[in-house]
Amino acid sequence: MRARRPGLLLFAALLALGALTPGLRAAEDAKPVVLLTGFEPFGGLEKNASWESVKTFDGKEIGGYKIVTALLPVVYDEMAAPLAKAIETHKPAIVLSFGVGSQVVQVETLARNGYHPYKPQDNKGNRPPRLKIDPEGANEIPVQLPVDAIVTALQAQRIGAWTSKDAGGYLCNECFYRLMAAAPKAPIAMRGFVHVPDFGSQDPAGGTYTAEKLQKAVQIVVEETVKAAKAQAATSARK
């Protein structure tokens, strides 16, 4: 086996230390960002399938987009600050929020400005703080995702999926509404919310929802959204 050349060893060392040219770092920073969010455990559970399914994508790349993740608390109103901070910090082109609590992978299509008064307490024992999430906000906001393409792609991989017009009146819907109502300084091309079943739930398409299957579902959601965002950008560029 040939000995490695000193120049190659130096290059490898610099690469490992992140000491290469600023141009490489600038190119990495210039890549558009997909922000994925999930929730902390609640209701006595040790894990939340939404966070466990998205956290493994942090730092990866899909379709030329860099993936970053953020964990949100299951506390009324308090989940708003870390969501806003993640958007402000990363200036994502796409934001996809995930929550647990559906029978299949459920792509939400309508964010509603309201809480359900009989929903469970949050992780601090609080009930919904008021009737509306934002008393001055719109009653409903439609999603900005390629919903049909996502569901079709999921079903093609034998992952049970459908669309929904009701994200519930708990923290998932609050996250969804706040995300859709947000007006960040940097524009977000696409944003939306997806519910996932808990680990071990029966999948009507076959088998159960394992960690691997839900991670595959997250990847498909990202891939289809990235494709739609690229097509949207190309259409805008031609106008």
Q: What is the pLDDT of residue 27?
A: 58
Q: What is the pLDDT of residue 226?
A: 98
CB 171, CB 126: distance < 8 Å:
no
Q: What percent of the chain has pLDDT over 90?
A: 77
Q: What is the pLDDT of residue 117?
A: 74
HEC profile of 182-204:
CCCCCCCCEEEEEEECCCCCECC
> Strands 65-72 and 61-62: what pairing?
antiparallel
Annotated catalytic residue 116? no
Annotated catalytic residue 90? no
CB 110, CB 207: distance < 8 Å:
no
**Residue 75, CB half-sphere, CA atoms under 13 Å: how many?**
12
124-146: per-residue pLDDT in tens? 999 998 999 999 999 999 998 99
191-218: per-residue pLDDT in tens? 999 999 999 999 999 999 999 999 999 9
Q: At residue 105, what is the residue type?
A: V
> Which member of 52, 108, 174, 224 is catalytic?
108
> Which member of 172, 174, 175, 224 is catalytic?
172
> Which member of 52, 174, 175, 195 is catalytic?
195
Is this prediction's pTM over 0.75? yes
Q: Which of 234, 191, 216 is nearest to 34 (CA)?
A: 191
Domains, the chain: 31-232 (3.40.630.20)
Annotated catalytic residue 195? yes
Q: Which residues does the chain have with pLDDT short of 50?
A: 1-4, 11, 14-15, 20
- As a whole number of angstroms, the distance between CA 108 and CA 173 comes to 9
Place of tokens 């466990």: 52
Q: What is the pLDDT of residue 22?
A: 57
**What is the token pair recorded at 8?**
């190659």
**What is the token pair recorded at 68?**
């970053």
- As a whole number of angstroms, the distance between CA 105 and CA 133 comes to 25
CB 68, CB 90: distance < 8 Å:
yes
**What is the token pair recorded at 131?**
């009737």
